Amino acid sequence: MIAVAFTTSFSVSCEEPVVNPPPAYLDVGDVFDVAREEFKKAVWAVKEAEAAGAGQGPLGVLVERLNLVVWMIERSEQLVGQREVEQATAQLRRSVEISGEVVSKATQLREEGERSTYYGKLISFGVIPVASLLVTATSHFSLRWLRRREVERIMRMEISESKETQEGRE
């Protein structure tokens, strides 16, 4: 489960992640919108990677990066309130870059997770039934061979009297 700690509410849409850096001519309000949109895409990409079976270690790193993006967006809001628009814009642009990096890394993790899941299914549904069939057939024919060998051994036995029976007749 992905746990992203943030106080600002974001809604996640079901769009394919695409990184679009904000153009230089955008004002700070538009850069906020771009940063939030990129953050949504990054969260969605991390959720997809988790659903595909990516490892918890790399996902933890991505979640830390998402928390950093949230902190940068909130910090930018504070900077705008303090009338430091240039610093806020620079921080928002950096958050967009980090979100793009998270999207690309999450996409790689998703592909690796899907690949490992595919191989797991291949083994579960392809190799294991064949192996169990081979074990069953080998066991069956081995037991048949052992039984036949014992029957033949018993049939080859010579019937002879024991020494006690011979002494009793004399």
List, for residues 111-143, the tens digit of each pLDDT value.
Answer: 988 888 888 888 888 888 899 999 999 999 999
Which residues lie closer than 8 Å to 36 by C-beta, 6 or more apart?
Answer: 10, 73
* Same domain assignment for residues 40 and 61: yes
Position 163 scores a pLDDT of: 72
Distance CA 161, CA 140 (A): 37
* Same domain assignment for residues 62 and 121: yes
List phi, psi (to 5°) of 68. -65, -40
CB 39 within 8 A of CB 99: yes
* Same domain assignment for residues 57 and 119: yes
Instruction: Give the count of beta carbons closer than 10 Å to the beta carbon of residue 4.
Output: 17
Angle of the 28-51 helix axis to the 56-81 helix axis, nearest 10: 170
Position 1 scores a pLDDT of: 43
Domain residues for the domain of 134 are 127-157
| Its pTM surpasses 0.85 | no
Q: Rounded to whole angstroms, what are the CA distances from 94 to 49, 55, 90, 141?
A: 23, 26, 6, 69
CB 109 within 8 A of CB 49: yes
Position 40 scores a pLDDT of: 95
| Residue type present at position 94 | R
* Same domain assignment for residues 51 and 99: yes
Q: Total structural domains in the chain?
A: 2
Position 143 scores a pLDDT of: 96
18: in domain: no
Instruction: Give the count of beta carbons closer than 10 Å to the beta carbon of residue 88.
Output: 23
Q: Which residues of the chain have pLDDT under 50?
A: 1-18, 25
* Same domain assignment for residues 68 and 82: yes
* Same domain assignment for residues 61 and 44: yes
